[in-house]
Structure 1
């Protein structure tokens, strides 16, 4: 059985969590990275990153639609 290294279990920072969420939005997340993130991502950081990502996505859509209509 494999022993877990304490350094591998440290929580990820907000920016690394944001990176994980952005790659998940794009759909290019590697399985290895996903498996490394299990148990390390702070749920509050994930929620904040997801909501800010959705807000940016909606803002981009609004700008594109406004440009296309005008």
Structure 2
């Protein structure tokens, strides 16, 4: 009987996505992620990460052009 690997939590998926934005993932972590990550969590985490990045860029631009 084959055991299914335990699905990762949303926070684990968010952490994996955020680290992948920087390109700082170990091969062993990547191999585990392939099995454990839930695709829906990854998509939601990626959208949150992109929204946060855009908000950061907008904030930096507002401070740079403030009078």
TM-score normalised by length of structure 2: 0.89
Equivalent of 1:14 in 5, 10, 13: 10
- Uncovered stretches (5+) of structure 1, i.e. residues with no partner: none
For residues 17-57 of structure 1, the C-alpha deviation after alignment (integer angstroms, 9 at most, x for no partner) is 11100110111111110001112110100000000000000
**Aligned ranges 1:1-70 → 2 under 5 Å:** 6=3, 9-70=5-66
State how far apart, in whole Å, the 1-side matches of 2:16 and 2:59 are: 25
State how far apart, in whole Å, the 2-side matches of 1:18 and 1:63 are: 22
Aligned-pair Cα RMSD in Å: 1.4
* Consecutive aligned runs of 4 or more in structure 1 exceeding 3 Å deviation: none
How many aligned residue pairs are there? 65
State how far apart, in whole Å, the 1-side matches of 2:32 and 2:51 are: 27
- Uncovered stretches (5+) of structure 2, i.e. residues with no partner: none
